[in-house]
Chain A
Amino acid sequence: MSFLIGENMTGGYGAADILHGCTIAVELGEIVVIVGPNGAGKSTAMKAVFGMIDLREGSVRLDGDEITKLSPQERVRRGMGFVPQTSNIFTSMTVRENLEMGAYLRDDDFSDTMAQIFDLFPILKEKSRQIAGELSGGQRQQVAVARALMMQPRVLMLDEPTAGVSPIVMDELFDRIIEIRDSGIAVLLVEQNAAQALAIADRGYVLVNGENRFSDSGQALLEDAEVRRSFLGG
């Protein structure tokens, strides 16, 4: 029984299904990466797990509870954090205000959480009074991740966090994601940079046409000849 599992998910945005019986599961303290070719339904699978897509079939369970019918907002309340691929920060607000908005649903004192997040992302502490829209691409992604962490989620889902950032920044972000995993959070990641992502992943899913094609440990997928040839460019 996985901590979070989207099982046999079938559905899409309109009449046509994008996912066809796809299953994604993640445990606490584990990084799971979803990779696959363009249009494979990677992001769609993650959005389905988060409740942004109505499923025709299949179910989503969090810690044993059925959450298939819950709205994304309710899932946030239940401890799921989601970092969208684009428009994932409040560009006109300061870094600190972005974090405060991340904790909007919390009634308790969240200054401890903020301090922890500033420890994880020291650059954000330095720039806490700066307008988030003025930061570099990598720093914006840190703000986006930090915003989602403010609710102290048990699951963190990231939709292509390294899209459009330099390789150095990507490594830096992956290091942070490993730290987040090591704190006991379940991390689900959709990645375009498949090889690098699988290298840090505990497990990986290769999705093709909305179906699971391969699933194994990150290392095994990296070493699999067919996966390498088809999806990792040799």
Chain B
Amino acid sequence: MTDFLDAIVLLTNYVLVPGVAYGSQLALGALGVTLIYGILRFANFAHGDMMAFGTMVVILITWWFQSIGFSIAPLPVALVALPIGIAAAIVMSLGTDRLVYRFYRRRRSPSVIYILTSIGVMFVMNGIVRFIIGPDDQRFSDGARFIIKAREFKQATGLHEGLAIKLSQGITVLVTLIVVVALFRFLHKSRTGKAMRAYSDNEDLALLSGVSPERVVFVAWVIAAALAAIAGTLYGLDKSFKPFTYFQLLLPIFASAIVGGIGNPLGAVVGGFIIAFSEMTITYAYKKFLRYLLPDSWAPDSLVQFLTTDYKFAISFIILVVVLLVRPTGIFRGRT
């Protein structure tokens, strides 16, 4: 019986808990991508670097807080810096829209032009971030590390396996929950939110109904930038901040948005968790897990790992390709 419980705790510790946290981060990122897709109708390649930009501002403010000794321990002080990072990301995205995207919007350019433009924006933003904070890994979390420590868990339960839940994971899940609930309430209850859904659903009819396209686009950028800054900060707190990693996050985020059905916010959330758990379950080595469950003579010698973690991006890529081949509209029938 304890073997069984140990196996469950092992899986919870290494797959479930990190998977929920990572899934939340992807969900927030995918929500931003899907929102821009729904309103402006293009896949925004600059979203990963928008996350990096917002996070960078949070880190700079956090460092300043730390240097003057300001702390909200046990919580990380980055949470206080987050609103400033969100504001900076919003200013950045609205500025980009004014300087770049609005020009193409007035020309009614096809969406492929927007996509290529967003790749350009991505490189510029990428350059800005590296120029300011550098390409290296940065750590900025402070306060307590754990909500539940592995050793304490073992002592309390008497099991061999420990369960650790990092504070950053708890914060990630809680913040994601609040943000997602607030966003869905906004989209379904408020007048502006409904106008955004209507515009995304049927642009011509929305215009006919009197929805102002510039206003809808404005709100979409504000929300997408806020989501990017939040997702990036949570990811950075949980792991670490490195500009290149954020650029790479674009692949699992796009995969999440597309698996769920691009343009569909609920799909983005579900997609985020599907991608996260696919990565976690496929790259996890089940050797120890099976040792607990199987008789000794059956215990495997190999790691029982389907793919090494080096290949985690390949998993997003494969899921993306399969979805596009089999069901291009995604689970919740988004747009194609």
Contacts and interface: CB of A to CB of B under 8 A. Distances in A.
Interface of A: 72-73, 76-77, 82, 84, 87-93, 97, 100-102, 104-105, 147
Contacts of A105: 209-210
Contacts of B195: 101, 104
B205 interface: yes
Contacts of A90: 197-198, 201-202, 205-206
B303 interface: no
Given A101-B194, A104-B195, A89 B210 contact: no
Contacts of A82: 208
B207 interface: yes
Given A92-B200, A93-B197, A104-B195, 7 more contacts: A77-B210, A87-B204, A88-B205, A90-B197, A92-B197, A93-B198, A97-B198
Interface in B185-199: 191, 194-195, 197-198
A193 to B, nearest CB: 24
Contacts of A73: 207-208, 210
Interface of B: 191, 194-195, 197-198, 200-202, 204-211
A234 B211 CA distance: 46
Given A92-B197, A101-B195, A87 B210 contact: no
A146 to B, nearest CB: 13
A73 B209 CA distance: 7
Contacts of A104: 191, 195, 198, 209-211
Contacts of B211: 101, 104
Contact of A92 (B201, B208, B209, B210): B201
A91 B201 contact: yes
Contacts of B197: 90, 92-93, 97
Contacts of B194: 93, 97, 100-101
| Residue picked from B191, B202, B209, B211, most chain A C-beta under 10 Å | B209
A189 B125 CA distance: 53
A45 B80 CA distance: 60
A76 B208 contact: yes
Contact of A101 (B198, B200, B204): B198
A102 B204 CA distance: 13
B243 to A, nearest CB: 36
B208 A89 contact: no
A102 B208 CA distance: 9
A37 B1 CA distance: 80
A105 B209 CA distance: 7
A72 B206 CA distance: 12
Nearest to A98: B198
Nearest to B264: A92
Contacts of A147: 205, 209
Contacts of B201: 90-93
A93 B207 CA distance: 16
Q: Which 6 A-B pairs have the closest CB atoms?
A: A105-B210, A90-B201, A104-B209, A92-B201, A101-B198, A104-B210
B148 to A, nearest CB: 41
B209 A84 contact: no
| Residue picked from B202, B206, B207, most chain A C-beta under 10 Å | B202
B206 to A, nearest CB: 7
A32 to B, nearest CB: 21
| Residue picked from A73, A92, A97, A147, most chain B C-beta under 10 Å | A92
A92 B265 CA distance: 12
B202 A76 contact: no
B331 to A, nearest CB: 15
A49 to B, nearest CB: 14
Contacts of B205: 84, 87-90, 101, 147
B202 A72 contact: no
Nearest to B203: A87
A72 B211 CA distance: 12
Contacts of A72: 207-208
A145 B207 CA distance: 17
Given A90-B197, A93-B197, A102 B202 contact: no
Nearest to B188: A97
A91 B201 CA distance: 7
A72 B204 CA distance: 11
Nearest to A105: B210
A73 B210 CA distance: 6
Contacts of A92: 197, 200-201
Contacts of A77: 210
Nearest to A90: B201
A147 B204 CA distance: 14
Contacts of A97: 194, 197-198
| Residue picked from B191, B194, B200, most chain A C-beta under 10 Å | B194
